[in-house]
Copies of this chain bind each other. A is one copy, B any other.
Amino acid sequence: MFKINENYLKLPGSYLFSAIGKKVNAYSAAHPDKKIIRLGIGDVTQPLAPAILEALHRAVDEMGRAETFRGYAPDLGYEFLRSAIAGQDYQARGCEISADEIFVSDGAKCDSANIQELFSLDNRIAVCDPVYPVYVDSNVMAGRTGTYDSAKETWSDVIYMPCTADNAFAPELPGDGQTPDLIYLCFPNNPTGAVISKARLQEWVDYANRVGAVILFDAAYEAYISEPDIPHSIYECEGARTCAIELRSFSKNAGFTGLRLGFTVVPKELKCGDVSLHGMWARRHGTKYNGAPYIVQRAGEAVYSPEGKAQLKEQIAAYMKNAAYIFNGLKEAGYTVSGGVNSPYIWLKTPGGMSSWEFFDCLLEQVNVVGTPGSGFGPNGEGYFRLTAFGSYENTVEAVDRIRKLHL
């Protein structure tokens, strides 16, 4: 008689965004007349930029002619895209990353969920708290997190690194006796919108090299960095090639949430004894994945064209205008807010000591605005709430105005 992977049963409740979706759908079904404004899930709303559309149409045409038709893609991605990424995202910033260290995929969510497969089940993970749920959940499903304490909402074998107002939402190095093997860091941060300076990130790289840990650095929001001295890549730090894997996405810099494209950088020096993680990830891609669609990889290439870059700069500026509107509007209204400067996320303290889900319900029911409860990202997210800048400007303004009129 077959048995299931019991680790799945340990997962508490359903995936955060599915849970939100269900709640919003139920409200919407019961109140079909209400105009709900969604600033919850970090999903973009601007249409694809003209340069990307043009690349897609051209690639579709190629797929329609026998001479230019493309079947299976190279396992690790087309050379044209890997070269563009290595050149423009890394070498142009002085990071020593070559095209064959880039692994093209269908998105950073999948990569960040799959990357843990390369590691021993004995390895101990460290995550920020609050944190993007996929890091922990994918490790739960693999059986790496121990037992769940439903009162504390924590796992026995996970090292939680509190990110609170006291440390400006950037974690401290773990103390003695709490040495992690895998460290998930995401900067600019989801959900808090916080950033980390290059000097602080260098401390993490030095720490990882010292204790023999791997940093899984999620840089999905890199394009939103507006201030100097904030690292765009962990490879700006010395020594990162021997301790860090970087995850990137086209979702937030180019609006690819519905197109699906991302990549992971695994430097060849990153090794456990003689075994290169680069070779292992290549093997995983070759065995369990079949490449991102050709037409989508061509769309990705267009992100690096002069036209594409100019158009996407405008898209991001529009989202950042929303971010500033939310940040300033709520601040003026007396809310305690952070993020939003180098990130499309605004992190706010819930008013009057409400819990995150109480504030979620309140916003949904009273002013029909959807956000994300901070507690969904971890215990230290309790009492906080995430709003995204990915709506339209009109909706963003209306949502902020509605929230400001809320009588609590």
Contacts and interface: CB of A to CB of B under 8 A. Distances in A.
Contacts of A8: 118, 280, 283-284
A277 B4 CA distance: 8
A44 B257 CA distance: 28
Nearest to A41: B72
B63 A53 contact: yes
Contact of A280 (B4, B56, B283, B286): B4
B66 A43 contact: no
A37 interface: no
A259 interface: yes
Give the copy number. 2
Nearest to A114: B288
Interface in A38-63: 41, 43-48, 50, 53, 56-57, 60-61, 63
Contacts of A134: 287-288
Contacts of A71: 43-45, 255, 257-258
A30 interface: no
Contacts of A4: 118-120, 272, 275, 277, 280
Contact of A117 (B15, B137, B141): B141
Interface size class of A (residues with CB under 8 A): 35 or more
Given A65-B47, A138-B287, A259-B63, A2 B72 contact: no
A229 interface: no
Interface stretch (A81-89, A102-110, A150-158, A351-359): A102-110
Given A4-B118, A53-B64, A392-B66, A15 B258 contact: no
Given A9-B275, A141-B117, A286 B18 contact: yes
B290 A181 contact: no
B119 A295 contact: no
Interface stretch (A207-215, A220-228, A341-349): A207-215
Interface of A: 1-6, 8-9, 11, 14-15, 17-18, 41, 43-48, 50, 53, 56-57, 60-61, 63-66, 69-73, 75, 106-107, 109-110, 113-114, 117-123, 133-134, 137-138, 141, 181-182, 211-214, 255, 257-260, 272, 275, 277, 280, 283-284, 286-296, 392
